[in-house]
Structure 1
């Protein structure tokens, strides 16, 4: 953590929370002589907080860091003090070292000459040596006080150019910005989806994790012990009664899906709001206590991205564990691709690229913006939900992280959705998520499921069947989803195939990070938009009104 505080003594509020800061607290913090509110929570700061002991604080939050040692007694008097989530030393703090006066240049008191003079001093009650010691101590204390008073006055002069109560300008705050909806049109709005995931997004707090929250791709990572979470949860608390009424007692008529972690029900509340309620299967996520469930809710409630299906609320009454999410009317990508009837409008090529790009942005956020990184583990087309504008929202982010890899077994492992190394080692990494994303791209390209037992043996696995043909233009044309009816540009199709071919490489080290996948898809979108403008210009000159929705 950089020391930038020495000349900021007039600040009254400092908020450095959720910035992934590391290192010990700088000594310059002791110069914040006017600070009343200090937020340092949810970073990775280390060392002691003794430098804060003498600050005039009325509100202090240092929770969820890596601080050690004792909490200074001065800080314990703060009513709104929050210190949970650190490695404080238990037991009483050691007493401060006894004061020792520095060597003095004064002459020592004359030595006692005889017993008579000693007897005379004894009558006065205090010897001359004791008086001298007291005087020296008072002088030293006075000198120390004068030194700090002068030093503070000098600092005040240097700080006159700062306005009183000037708010602290933190490091780039990564505030969440509104994202323009990605409309279903003949031109893809690249501005709404093309910006890097690290811009306009605030990294979430440090998340207690197991193997799936991985800083690298090491398969031998060790599980991290869970700690009880006391972080505030920004989600609505529902009662079982409220959810029973909203779902008509969880009737089958309101059942909209059943996935790895439990059933999902459509719920409608008295205010007209429609939400999705996920009823967790406790055989899949075995909660040993209510604290385990609160920890899970706390971890997933801090994940925020326009292409994630974000948590709205939760319920934990009567042994029930329920999560409440936004409801997306167009269902899942899996259903739209594989269960649509003859009357359904097929996804255009434009929409398929849009869905791929938005889903890639969600994984890029989880892998490269979240600190620590979040491995999804369960990325598949049925976990990509589509809103009314066909914008993708990835669901179940953070849920699998609560389960150790060795215990996380899904049907998809034998259905062509997971990476080869997961089948062999049982270990999930960011690169296994990239592979699963490539499988979804193949579904978008071909309209086929990841595994179909009804096909000939050589064609049952989508990846094994498609991979050898991805760089053959003629073969690509034969592979494309027939629902597109040939309405796609050949170059766009070829580039799309090139990207997914990298994602489904058998060796994880050859798969690209999601940020590179996003940039490749962004370039594809930009070229598609340029082509659209050229075709529109030609059509207007010819007076041709033909449909160009394939771009």
Structure 2
């Protein structure tokens, strides 16, 4: 072999060897990355970023990450899956990741005693947690609805935050044994779904602003309960007085004996034996019932039970025969005739039948009667025989669900100047709105519902509409403060918001008005997104808005948004309404085919409102060239082109906006207005994207100018 040939052979061998080495390294690299599930890697990368890449997590990385293979600090794995995250007391800031629901094998998350938060707890928490500890941080807002889906959850600790709203979401948390919600800003009553916490032994609610009674806790297997320093009233149930550790100081409980339970209710059994005729306070109480029963022979007990059953059957038989005889004579057997408890079921069935047969005028009379103050209604008195509506089951159910005060037509006529043109504010999809000033100088907005536009939904069901709206409670929803239904009028009374609607602020520009700054536009978008997130993901069942648009976003004197017309979903509009030019620009493409609204159609409408904020244009504008009349069709192709974006921005901004913030805002819009509903994100993801936009901008601002930061943070404005 020649020297040249030998040289070529050696070169070839070297090349092959190098190739083998490179292949080995690549394989080793792939093997290392394969140590951790890809979804877990993605979630932890985002988590690391949203915590602002903290230096105290020294072995965490955002590139080529392998949490299990690299033994990240605070991470425990089982095989390739992350099962535990424990990062307590490490001075971490930022927030939780927005996609932590990818951590499906995680059973314990402990981020206690850090500086996380400054906003709501993210919605997408790991779904299979057994222990969740976020205590000692700065979270605010609402408890996320995703907690309600953690069926395996045993230990929940949200103490020492600033969370203000607790959702009624505990129906399925039957494995929860310990819950600590102390030292927050919770108010209102304890959620009714607490009575489903059948495994709960330890509950801490101290140092909040809870109100109402604690009766919902009476039948829970509690051994340790602290409800000190709240605003509870009523009585401490006897069962709770017997638990091992109980702290109730700092409330307004009554010291006297508790009242008897309402008629028709029964106390749960106290033991394995159940006396036939229990006495509440006498010598035959539950404490000695066992000894007395032990003195009775089995035959005697059986004889008593059989006699009672026979007597009850005879009574029921004659009651039913008597009612049948009166019905055949054309007489209502319910009038002035007290029914036995055994016949109470028949009474309810008869009441429902009466409602279904009376005319519209009589049903309107029922609705009007139900608006009288509760103090003037004696629910136990005998009504006149001709008043068939006074026994309405529907009326009682509706009243029990409404906590909003009722106004009279006379009061609202005075407050609005008989609904004069001078007090006219606007006319929306469901009626006209008037400004009202009460005697205490408080200014309100009164909406006259126009049911004639919706023939399939008569005004008889107005009370049900009020009940639906009154259950909604979020700082970014327009607040319902009262209602009225008298003399054929259906009126809703709301808070008055001084800056009107977003639609007017964007389009009715005059010499005195100032254009919305970019900071305020982001602020409005984020607040409106939070309102939809609440309706979609906190309310149970979810609430579809169906009419989300800029004219339904009302702005207070600090330009905080308040979404109106929430809870109107059952007022299904007619075809002319759906196809009106005013609403066509907000309507998702799938509605043209199916006509069926969904959560994703709301997301599309939200994207259109974001486009209005970005461009200052109307969703549909016939005055523009044909290619620009539909805002979505015109804007969508340009959302990912930074040069085109600059040309799209509302000229009123005069170029005063950061390009990065604009680009991220446009990215969120593009996701929301996708033609296919399944590709649109849930509102929780939209909220998180806007939160990250604000957080990144704030970090940049702080690093560039501390004084500038302090000045604007004190004003409550975003600097983006």
Return closer, same or farther for 1:400/1:82 CA change in 2, 3 Å cut-off.
Answer: farther
Alignment of 1:269-308 (within 5 A): 269-286=438-455, 292-308=461-477
**How far 1:230 moved relative to its partner?**
4.3
Displacement of 1:18 in angstroms is: 3.5
SS of equivalent residue, structure 2 residue 448: strand
SS at match of 2:489: coil
- The one of 657, 679, 696 aligned to 1:527: 696
Of the three residues 68, 76, 79, the one matched with 2:262 is: 79
State the alpha-carbon separation in 1 of the partners of residues 568 and 416 from structure 2: 22
Superposition pairs of residues 97-246 of structure 1, within 5 angstroms = 137=299, 229-246=398-415
- CA distance 1:410–1:295, shift in 2 (3 Å): farther
The Cα of 1:360 is off from its aligned counterpart by 0.1
Which aligned pairs between 1:433-444 and structure 2 lie closer than 5 A? 433-444=602-613
> 1:511 aligns to what?
680
Q: Which runs of 5+ in 1 are unaligned?
A: 6-14, 29-35, 41-54, 58-76, 84-95, 99-133, 142-224, 541-547
Aligned to 2:499: 330
Q: 1:402 offset after TM fit, Å?
A: 3.8
User: Do the aligned partners of residues 302 and 287 (structure 1) sit closer, same or farther apart at CA in structure 2, a change above 3 Å counting?
Assistant: farther
Shift of 1:282: 1.3
Deviation at 1:256, TM superposition (A): 0.6
| Structure 1 residue aligned with 2:482 | 313
Aligned counterpart, 1:102? none
Is the 2:451–2:457 Cα contact (8 Å) retained in structure 1? no
* Residues 1:358 and 2:520 are matched in the alignment: no
SS in 2 for 1:390: coil
Is this contact kept in 1: 2:697–2:719, CA < 8 A? Answer: no
TM-score, normalized by length of structure 2?
A: 0.46
Counterpart residue number, 2:619: 450
Distance 1:407 1:539, change over 3 A: closer
Tell me the residue number matched to 1:482: 651
Single out whichever of 277-286 and 258-267 deviates more from structure 2.
277-286
Once residues 431 and 370 of structure 1 are traced to their aligned partners in structure 2, the CA distance between those partners, rounded to angstroms, is: 16
Residues 38, 449 of structure 1: CA spacing in aligned structure 2 closer, same or farther, 3 A cutoff?
Answer: same
1:444-481 Cα offsets, whole Å, 9 max, x none, are: 00000001101110000000000000000000000000
- 1:249 paired to 2:423: no
User: Distance in 2 between the 1:480 and 1:413 partners?
Assistant: 22
Q: Deviations over 1:250-279 (max 9, x none)?
A: 011111110000000010011000000000
Relative distance call for 1:539 and 1:432 in structure 2 (3 A) is closer
Superposed CA deviations along residues 51-90 of structure 1, whole A, max 9, x for unmatched, are xxxx999xxxxxxxxxxxxxxxxxxx9426689xxxxxxx
Deviation at 1:136, TM superposition (A): 5.4
Please report how far the alpha carbon of residue 295 of structure 1 lies from its aligned counterpart in structure 2 after TM superposition: 1.0
* Alpha-carbon contact 1:228-1:295 (below 8 Å) kept: no
Q: Is 1:19 aligned to residue 181 of structure 2?
A: no
Alpha-carbon distance between aligned partners in 2 of 1:405 and 1:458, rounded to the nearest angstrom: 29
2:454–2:574: 8 Å Cα contact kept in structure 1?
A: no
Distance in 2 (alpha carbons) for counterparts of 1:228 and 1:284? 27
Q: Is the 8 A contact 2:519 2:718 kept in 1?
A: yes
| Rounded Cα–Cα distance in structure 2 between residues aligned with 1:374 and 1:405 | 20
Cα distance in 2 for partners of 1:288, 1:476 equals: 44
Question: How many angstroms does 1:292 deviate by?
Answer: 1.2
Matched, 1:459 2:604: no
Q: Could you tell me how far 1:418 is from its partner in structure 2?
A: 1.1
Q: Is the 8 A contact 2:402 2:470 kept in 1?
A: yes
TM-score (norm 1): 0.60
Q: Is the 8 A contact 1:235 1:301 kept in 2?
A: yes
For 2:542 and 2:462, the matched residues in 1 are separated by 21
Partner of residue 35, structure 2: none
Structure 1 residue matching 2:705: 3-state secondary structure: helix
Classify the secondary structure of the residue corresponding to 1:357: helix
Name the CA distance, whole Å, in 1 between partners of 2:544 and 2:457: 23
Partner of 1:180: none
User: Alignment partner of 2:447: what SS?
Assistant: strand
How much is the aligned-residue C-alpha RMSD, in angstroms?
3.9
Unaligned runs of 5+ residues in structure 2 are: 1-171, 178-188, 202-212, 218-236, 240-259, 267-273, 277-295, 304-393, 710-716
Shift of 1:415: 3.0
Whether contact under 8 Å (1:228, 1:291) holds in the other structure is no
Q: CA deviation at 1:527?
A: 1.2
CA distance in 2 between partners of 1:226 and 1:237 (Å): 15
Counterpart pick for 1:389 among 558, 564, 567: 558
1:497-516 per-position Cα deviation (integer Å, ceiling 9, x unaligned) = 00010000000000000000
The answer to whether 1:419 aligns with 2:588 is: yes
**Cα distance 1:80–1:364, how it changes in 2: closer, same or farther (>3 A)?**
farther
In the comparison of the two structures, how many residue pairs are matched?
367
Q: Aligned partners of 1:462 and 1:230: how far apart in 2? A: 44
Summarize deviations over 1:2-56 as a string: whole Å, max 9, x none.
3889xxxxxxxxx874438779x89x9xxxxxxx97449xxxxxxxxxxxxxx99
Q: How does 1:58-77 map to 2 (within 5 A)?
A: none
> C-alpha separation between the residues in 1 aligned to 2:706 and 2:216?
56
CA distance 1:387–1:413, change in 2 (3 Å): closer
Q: Hey, what does 1:497 align to over in structure 2?
A: 666
Whether the 8 Å contact between 1:229 and 1:291 is mirrored in structure 2 is no
Query: Would you say the 8 A contact 1:355–1:392 is kept in 2?
Result: yes
* Residues 136 and 534 of structure 1: CA distance in aligned 2, closer, same or farther (over 3 Å): closer
Structure 1 position 380 matched with structure 2 position 549: yes
SS of the equivalent of 2:451 reads coil
- Between the aligned partners of 1:448 and 1:21, the Cα distance in structure 2 is 50
Higher relative contact order (CA 8 A, sep 6+): 1
Aligned-pair CA distance for 1:403: 2.8
Change (3 A) 1:19 1:246: same
